[in-house]
Structure 1
Amino acid sequence: MLCIDILHEFELGVWKALLQHLIRMLHAVGENKVVELDRRFHQVPPFGRDTIRRIGYNVSELKQLAARDFEDILQCALPAFEGLFPPEIDSTIQSLLFTLADWHSVAKLRMHTDETLESLALLTKSLGQELRHFEEHVANALETFETPREARSRTRRKQKKGGADVGREGAGGSTATAELGVTRKAKLYSLSTYKVHALGDYVSQIRQFGTVDVTSTQLGEARHRQKKRQYERTNKRNFESQIAARTSLIENIRFIDQQVALAKGLPLPAGPSTNQQKAYVDEEGAVGPLDRRYNIAENGDWILLSKLLQQTTDDCAFTHFHEQLLDHILARLHSLPYSWDDPIFPASEYKDVDLQKDRIYTHGSTRFNYTTYDIRRCQDTIKPALRFSSSGVTRSGTTTRCHVMMIADEDDGQSRSQHPYWYAKVLGVFHCNVRHRSTGQDDYERMDVLWIRWLGVDPDQRVGGRSRRLNRVGYVPDSDGPGAFGFIDPADVIRGCHLIPSFNEGTRDDLLTGASSVYDLDGEDYRYFSIMRFVDRDMAMRYRGGGIGHMNHGVQQDSQRPQVNDSDSGSEREQDDTSDEEFSSNNRSSDSESNTSESGDSDLELDAD
């Protein structure tokens, strides 16, 4: 029996063929559209250690791309392609890209249930319908030809075989490229391939053989690269025995390290033979235990709070910085739910906060630990968008991993069919040593805080269901009051999230009332960000629902269409941001501890074949 191979059948098969044809269609629309596509993909921020890597300048060339690169392109394709095609076909292409990413996220799950397999069966049916509709009504709506690179490659291959004047003669259904005089042949999109046909076997083969990582060739090819690296360390003679001896030596050393760690009570070093919980090593090489909710360094560079306030008098983002910080500290000292936006204590009580030596300590990163849908412990590293020092506040050189998500906490009694998460951009990571003067507290206690800029969900956008669109968020305007910025407890963060600018919506400069260091660009912010729900499998299951490793499994029906079983991924409380403009900072208090399930929006309503 031929087993499924998602790497070659889908990522390097169905998806690669579709991507190639979409690029051909963009060439037919206009060369400037191809340039814009390359620009957008290069501006996609990376995520995680290697979940989403930095995408190169020339995606349209499709040069030197591995399967993991095509996977990254698929996961980020929706905002990159949005608005590049004529309106009459752009909507269909967006729906197809959403369905492809949704199918891919479910098919690659490492832990399946009956509900996820039933969802995959429905998504497979929907994907087939979308692909057929694209082939019949969209793919050939434009006259498409080979891309210039495809034409050049074909010409070189034929010239190597001895062809003379290949491609220089004109022919019907062809067009010529000016730089080489090479004829570009007409290219049509076709579903008549085995790889498309094989997609229908995934559900049955997963039930029979297990998850797709069991039958995928990805592991074997990765091991092949490992052996090639080991081969380079030999003298190229009798290399088999040398590789075997080196492998045995590495395993023996790892075993000794584990025994030493166990004897001293230290975390076990990560390695293939480590069966117990591994410590996580991030891109900076720092190790943090995974049993904590978050990890922040013990020490940091300190700055005087009074000096910081003097340096930022002209920065509108710091207008309410002092009062919000003291209000947040007071609430936590009293063990009360702190406010997400408006102060809850009168200004007269702020003097009760004793900030040791008037110092706050800044940190360059924080690491959030969470349980995945398949009951594993993972970690996201978040780096603040601003750098604080004694000389002032500047924008950080790397602002690509600064977004977090947390449980939406509404206290206005609204329906729980709203969005279950809140989103924020982390501007600063601090800790301070504080005590309460009025209670006679003798010892200072450490308090970790995040200074954030809120993002609100666009209430006017239809997402999920038949719309097949990503949620999008935008910054809360500071005209709403102090709620555009705020302080939160790091323990309230679920994990980091991946937000990509909605390039088609452009930028705006009216969200802040003055000059500030927190703008995304020079004096401008992106109007919207797309929430990348397919960035990894755990994130996809948080929006789909039903993750075994997530806390809550209540079913939340989507009002737009019936569900198979879209249970929530865990302890998600709803969000319903309302405002006189796009977003709002109202109704963000943390006095509710109730959990809710989110509306799943990935099992699509299908017509019978």
Structure 2
Amino acid sequence: MPTSVPTLPHPLSVFSSQRNSFGVMREYSIHLNSTITHDPDGLITLHDLTDIPLPSPRNVSRNLNPYGPFSNLSSFLMADWYWNSNNKSYLDFQKLISILKRPNFSLEDATQVNWAATFKALGANRDDLPEDTGSWIKDDGWKTTQISIDVPFHSRMKNSGMEKYTVGDFRHRSIVSVIREKILNPDENRQFHYYPYRSTWKASEASPEVDLYGELYASQAFRDAHEELQKQPDPVPGEPLEKVVVALMLASDSTHLTSFGDAQLWPCYLFFGNESKYRRCQPSQHLCHQIAYFEKLSDKFTDYLKTRNHGKLPSDAFMTHCTRELFHAQWAVLLDDELLDAMKNGIVIMCPDGRRRRFYPRIFTYSADYPEKILVGGIRNNGICPCHRCFIKKSDLSNLGAPIDDQRHVQQRIDSEDRRRELVSDARREILENSYAVDGTKVEALLKSQSLVPVNNAFFSPRFLPFIMSILPSLVVDILHEFEVGVWKRLFTHLIRLLEAFSQASGVTLSAELDYRYRLTPSFGRDAVRRFGVNASAMKRKAARDFEDLLQCAIPAFEGLLPEPHGTALMKLLFVFAQWHALAKLRLQNDHTLDLLDYTTTQLGAHTRRFDRDTCSRVATKELAKEAEARARREAKGKGKGKAASTTRKPATLGIFTVKFHYLGDYVPTIRRFGTSDSYSTENGERAHGLPKSWYARTDKQDYQEQKTRIERRQARLSRIRAQALEPSKEDHHMGGASNGLSPTEAGVEARYIMASNQNQPVDLGSAVVNCLGATHHDLYLVDFIPKLKQHLMPRILQRLGFECSAGYKGDWTSVVIRDHRIYQHKLLKINYTTYDIRRDQDVIHIETPQCNVMLLNSNFPVPGAHSLYLYSRVLGVYHANVSYIGVLPDGTRRYDSFRLDMVWGQWYESLSHPGKEEFQLDRLRLSPVETPESLHFMDPADILRGVHLIPQFSLGKVDALPPKSRLVIPQESEWNAYYINRFVDRDMFMRYQYGMSVGHIYMHSLFPLPMLPSIPTDFDYCLQDLPPPAARGSEQAQASGSNVTPTSEFTRTCPLDPLIMDQATTHDGDSNDLDQADTSEHAGLGVRHDDDPNKMDQADAYEHADHDYLDDMNDREIILHEEMYGEI
């Protein structure tokens, strides 16, 4: 019988698009004589390019059973209202009223429903319902699988050998089923990318072409998988279907469900890299799929071990081994034969566009914190080689960015996978066949040198070798845990220790002064920088985003608090930290920004080592009060009930050179491989926790995992019914801003700015301006107000009438007529702008608040004398006027057309920064004196680039005189002598100062055809000298007289302390007693364990790392969760 020959595909060719107005071009690799049949980017609307709330487009499809298990629209609307909010609010009450008022709502239809049976069917699996009632269900629902593990009792235990123990029921979904559900959904398939592409950018003809890095479907990893798949023969001869890679992005993390109690959930999430990260990373889009709730070892397992082992519990290493086995036993269920077949032969699906395609799942990323990374990768907790990517030794973790830090590139774990499998197999043979302990001598001899563990890793199963070459590269970087609540939090904590050390010498409570400065730091944007709490230094209830805000505003807050030379060193270090953070979090990278990130990583490593060597090692610092109390509670727990531990504050060091510090060097290669870090940040998984946590209140608190699976299906199915069966209602189009006269629409988002149209606040130019300039009421702000206003309006009127006119043209400005001699004032101005990553965003300028500062392009740049690309102004007023021109026009005619013109009244800032300023310094401004003739000015709101975040330079204090009073300017407090321009306030602002590197800022393209990239000099000091031994660290006491770190009297004078906190110097330590009380691990919408640094380890590693400072970053409940999840160490 003849055998069928696989059909070989056609060779691939490159298809290139035209460069768009931003200089961006795409290259697709497709088969010869084929076309791109599905292009989501061609369907992009303005709604897809902005985070500003807009009405969502909705495709309405009609089918035979549009309402699923509901017999009519009314019952569906009531169920949808009930299930899609857990804690009913007044807004929910209004939604209910709007449902009842709908003309097609029938109370009789809603009351005749058997709600218990309907809700049960809504959350049930299709197989659990009769065929006639479950036909509307298109998904496979949740499954329950019994999980067992092999428990290895070694030769010195009773009845040694392997025993199988049934842990419990594992609730999960089929990954293949989730893929089918995703692709068959017409609404979500519309923006599901089938073809990866290479994106390049060329700013101008004189600029080099560079690669762009952003979406996962435009990454090198996706392109490699796509091209490899296209070269494979068709699995079914004669059926050459289009082959598509499905990019699986996994995330998992344990979370606490209540503030008090021990209810926990360990969900596993699935995202699709074929979808844009701008949608995927927004919880409101519901693109995160819950695929499993992992089980943990329960108290029953502990009882089983005690019964099995004469009442004694095995070693901690034994318990940790069982935890690892259970985790991978559950992953072995998820990585089932159905998924294996899909990876090998694809899933044939009839897509919503009517074409049959074959979809091949591939695992691209797995987002997790460090404890879970090593759990997935089968690496020992903080072993000799603590990194899951390379074999770097623990002693070399501090060498970040130095030339000798090449271990990560030379010896990669992925290059020794075969050897790894042999070692783990041999170790398991010793455990299973020879009854050696999991941490026995023979097992340790095989695994310890590479920090491996003898676990049966599901990701290294031989079945998946062709499709999962190694899970280790997929364990991507994690800026949230590794930097924001990792490296940066450690540095911030030690800075508080330093402030306390220097407070003893100066008599000034420096941490209280720091809190005062943070409180005075203005907020910015919708959520870029939020208002700081009363005591920032206490770090109470701080989530990752709070530490991010602390870093973004740290330079003005810490300036001058440490004496020289430590103060200058700290300012540079904070700038480098903030710049590294801004670069690592960019949502659109290019080769220039990655080169700058590489450069900044080198600087960060060197400056951190220098600060540790020259400051931290010379100043004796002690634990904070909260750290000492937390340590005492841990020690008391270990000693037993009724035994107290000492709360004496022990010496504490910087302790920053952990594996998290080492990971900072992996960001550049990871971004080049998988795209930008926001795409796979653990922040996405942390945000997704909000949904299953909110469901806990709907359960009976007993078998809540099972009940959550049904709630998840109910909400998912209701969402699909809503999208397919309902027309958008008027409520969907309602948008915020109506109360202040603004009505933003899609057309408004395209506009440069939005200003209200009402005329509720008229300003009479006669009474308000002319009468205020008399001898008795001389208003400095209103001097030449009307002439300046008309001179500003003159060229704009001519341009409106169709005449070319420069902005500085004055002409016969006296012929400008302002109707009724009135202008109309507004409080708000919304500035729309294009971001660096080619999206639309918005700043709200609010006069009489700190959010009233703006930036404009300097039209004189780069003429000599114009050192800055930008000009800065404080907005004093937002106005519009109805104007006309009665003079002779340039063509000799007269036209008396009247129309509205908008204008902004402002006061210039003067630059205090000179062109040759040192690297790693923020630019500074001061407010131009109102007496200066050119200080006050009018501007076209369309010329404003965006708002700007200015932070006072606290160390210079305030000016002595109060600003003059004015009828049109609300009296303000004394001005500060200088302000810092906070370029780190958000990513777009940061990129406006990276000249020649920003894709979306077109005005830079011609001015900076080549980027301004710094480079490491050949004689650069990497600060690799040996650090002082522990006994010598802090030998130079901060309070020692004559020491070079003693604060001076000048320092005391230049710190404007808050008078309300001057008396706290003697009580500061005592006020710290409750610093970590109720410090929940999930809050503010983003659950974060403050430091998941697993410097915890197996017993065999205990001698390698005796310092347990990492636990001081956790409160009691976090430590308990850590031990329960990853095993008692």
Question: TM-score band, normalised by the shorter chain?
Answer: 0.7 to 0.9
Give the 3-state SS of the residue equivalent to 1:122 in structure 2. helix
2:27 corresponds to: none
Code of the residue aligned with 1:195 in structure 2: it is: K
For 1:414, give the aligned amino acid: P
Shift in CA distance, 102/356, structure 1 to aligned 2, threshold 3 Å: same
Aligned partners of 2:659 and 2:738: how far apart in 1? 40
TM-superposed deviation, 1:362: 1.2
Q: Is the 8 A contact 1:519 1:525 kept in 2?
A: no
CA contact (8 A) 1:102 1:602 kept: no
In the alignment, is residue 299 of structure 1 matched against residue 758 of structure 2? yes
Q: Which residue matches 1:109?
A: 586
What is residue 485 of structure 1 aligned with on the other side?
A: 936
1:255 shift after superposition: 6.1
2:873 to 413, 416, 424: 424
Match of 1:442 in 2: 896
Q: Quote the residue 1:594 is aligned against.
A: none
Change in Cα spacing, 1:601 to 1:490, as seen in structure 2 (3 Å) is farther
Residue equivalent to 1:496: 947
* 1:542 equivalent in alignment to 2:992: yes
Change (3 A) 1:472 1:80: same
Task: Name the residue aligned to 2:500.
Answer: 27
Q: Identify the residue that residue 9 of structure 1 maps to in structure 2.
A: 482
Q: How many angstroms does 1:201 deviate by?
A: 1.1
Match of 1:325 among 789, 792, 809: 789
Please give the secondary structure, in 1, of the residue aligned with 2:653: coil
Tell whether 2:825 aligns with 1:356: no
Deviation sequence 1:368-393 (CA, Å, 0-9, x none)? 111111111111111112xxxxxxxx
Asked if structure 1 preserves the Cα contact closer than 8 Å seen for 2:599 and 2:1014, the reply is no
The corresponding residue for 1:452 is: 906
Corresponding residue for 1:560? Answer: none
Task: Say whether 1:369 aligns with 2:832.
Answer: yes
Residue pair 2:521, 2:531 contacting (<8 A) in 1 also: yes
Trace 1:25-174 onto structure 2 (pairs within 5 A): 25-30=498-503, 32-159=509-636, 162=641, 164-167=643-646
Q: Which residue of 1 aligns with 2:128?
A: none
Q: Give the secondary structure class of the aligned counterpart of 1:184.
A: coil
Amino acid at match of 2:903: V
Partners in 1 of 2:546 and 2:695 — Cα distance?
25
Corresponding residue SS for 1:508: coil
Moved more, 298-307 or 231-240: 231-240
Local SS of the residue matching 2:589: coil
Q: Which runs of 5+ in 2 are unaligned?
A: 1-471, 800-804, 889-893, 1023-1129
Cα deviation for residue 245 of structure 1 reads 2.0
Aligned with 1:433: secondary structure?
strand
**Equivalent-residue separation in structure 1 for 2:757 and 2:970 (angstroms):** 30
Q: Write the distance in 2 (CA, Å) between the matches of 1:516 and 1:256.
A: 59
Change (3 A) 1:458 1:57: same
1:495-547 per-residue CA deviation (whole Å, 9 max, x = no partner) reads 111111111111114595x4347999855211111001111111111101311
| 2:480–2:681 Cα contact (<8 Å) kept | yes
Amino acid at match of 1:115: H
Measure, in 2, the Cα distance between the counterparts of 1:102 and 1:411. Answer: 25
| Distance in structure 1 (CA, Å) of the matches to 2:520 and 2:697 | 36
Whether the 8 Å CA contact 1:282–1:381 is kept in 2: the answer is no
The equivalent of 1:249 in structure 2 is 718
Q: What does residue range 455-534 of structure 1 map to in structure 2 within 5 Å?
A: 455-460=909-914, 463=917, 466-481=918-933, 483-509=934-960, 514-516=964-966, 524-534=974-984
1:433 to 875, 882, 897: 882
CA distance 1:549–1:351, shift in 2 (3 Å): closer
- Whether contact under 8 Å (2:592, 2:1013) holds in the other structure is no
TM-score by length of 1: 0.78
Q: Structure 1 counterpart of 2:692, which letter?
A: K
Q: Which residue of 2 aligns with 1:582?
A: none
CA 1:334 to 1:509, structure 2 compared with 1: closer, same or farther past 3 Å? farther
User: How far apart are the structure 2 equivalents of 1:318 and 1:122?
Assistant: 50
In structure 1, the partner of 2:1123 is none
Matched residues in 1 for 2:969 and 2:958: separation?
11
3-state SS of the aligned residue for 1:543?
coil
Matched, 1:334 2:798: yes
Give the deviation of 1:552 after TM superposition. Answer: 4.1
Q: Give the unaligned 5+ runs of structure 1.
A: 168-181, 271-278, 386-398, 558-564, 568-599
The DSSP-based 3-state class of the residue aligned with 1:290 is helix
Q: Report the number of matched residues.
A: 519
Deviation at 1:461, TM superposition (A): 7.9
Equivalent residue number for residue 135 of structure 2: none
State the shift of 1:433 in Å.
0.3
Change (3 A) 1:260 1:233: same
| Contact kept? 1:280, 1:379, Cα under 8 Å | no
Structure 2 vs 1, CA of residues 315 and 111 (structure 1 numbering), >3 Å: closer, same or farther? same
Equivalent residue in structure 2 for 1:206, among 666, 671, 689: 671
Is 1:379 the counterpart of 2:842? The answer is: yes
Deviation digits for residues 256-310 of structure 1 (CA, Å, limit 9, x no counterpart): 77x659xxxx99969xxxxxxxx99899895343211111112132232222223
Asked if 1:187 corresponds to 2:641, the answer is no
Larger Rg: 2
Amino acid at match of 1:355: I
TM-score under structure 2 normalisation? 0.43
How far does the alpha carbon of each residue in 1:18-66 deviate from its partner, in whole angstroms, 9 at most, with x for none?
0000010000111521111000001111111001111111011111000
2:861 and 2:580 mapped to 1: Cα distance?
35
1:134, CA displacement in angstroms? 1.0
CA distances 1:427-482 after superposition (whole Å, capped 9, x unpaired): 1110010001224433311000001111111145854xx4311001111123432x
Q: Does 1:226 align with 2:691?
A: yes
Distance 1:33 1:518 in 2: 39
| CA–CA distance in structure 2, aligned partners of residues 498 and 485 of structure 1 | 20
**8 Å contact from structure 2 (residues 554, 574) kept in 1:** yes
